[in-house]
Structure 1
Amino acid sequence: MKLENIWQQFTQRQFDYLGNIIYRSKAKSICDIGCFAGSVGRAVWKAIKVSDKELYLLDNYAFLPEAFRQPFLKAVKKTVGDSDRIHTILESSHVYNWTQHDFVIFSQADIDHFRPDYEKLIQSNVKWVALDLSSTNCLQRFSIILDGIKDKKITPQYYVDGMIICGEPTPCTLATESGEFLGHKIRYVKKKKGAYNKAVEDIVKNL
């Protein structure tokens, strides 16, 4: 079983922007909440390994028999890196105090895991959070995030193909455009050209 091929939380472009933003932020500790097979951890570590930032991988793997949970988390860490700045936490996000970290990535499996963590987030001093708005198969989560932005409980800074990064202003050196989202000024990444646009370009080029 190759963990790297099991699951990708975000697209490569989203990972590139996430890594760039985290690396250039003032965050000293980053926590991936619901790290699962490690896709977020691998992308983040690739971006921050030359820095002094610390990465925390958090999951309780409740879907696994108890005897397999710790070995699985160790296997996930191995795919991320062997640095002592990568920490593993086999615990529920509803128990572990992840609000002590500067930058968190929400990778919860479902609304039951997401909702209590989100309520904790908006009451915390966490400086940045990465959220997935592209997963509209969970309309409750989608609605909660949009309501939070509209009600100014969280402040969006960047939008990348459905991934939204909220918190304090922080730099990004990759290409972005300025715009507005639910009353907030935001930087966003232009949508990739779709099949129709590419077809039009091909027709024009070959006239």
Structure 2
Amino acid sequence: MGSPVSPIVVNLYMEKFEVKAISTFKDTPPLNWFRYVDDTYCKLKQRVADEFFDHINQVDKNIKFTQESSHDNMLPFLDTKTIIEKDGSLQFEVYRKPTHTDQYLAFDSHHPLEHKLAVITMPYVQGVSEKLRRIFQNFNIATNFKPHSTLRHKLVHPKDKPQKGTKANVIYRLKCEEPNCNNTYIGETSRPLKARYQEHCKPKANGYSSAIFNHLEHNQG
């Protein structure tokens, strides 16, 4: 898992497995065997369906197949639904699982603009979202909503908060703490703030000192 060569090795093995499984079946082999990754579309005689299923599960003890038969002359495969017409011809439709939510892309996600324009997904606001959906329905536009405030958003923080002074690319403000001094200094740095602050507090080797250091020489704040 995780290796770029894994899919190639798995495909090579499955090709070897398929040849062995089909060629060693003693009855009528499948008429069609189309595989994509770990999903296989198989057409075979009904009388040998169970026997063939048991057979392929014996070829390699480490591989166990599951099966799904067609119902009402329909069979889902990946994102398509195959429909067998009365004359034997095949028709295909887009298949969606019963749990499908119709939510595709959030507009603030990292996808090409033309993809996001094809789907409208907006944050859900109670009392407002319902009205927007009714308006869009008048123009045959499907609208999907996503939760705006979730437990994941409130509780899950993938990264720890950085310690004070470790941030870079910041604008900072220093204020003299002497009671009679109201001077402040505002600066910008691309380096960690702590390192930049330390530079302000000591003279440089070339004799040039920052305004902060010159101020500290005469003030204690």
TM over 0.5: no
- Larger helix fraction of residues: 1
User: Larger Cα Rg: Structure 1 or Structure 2?
Assistant: 2
Higher relative contact order (CA 8 A, sep 6+): 1
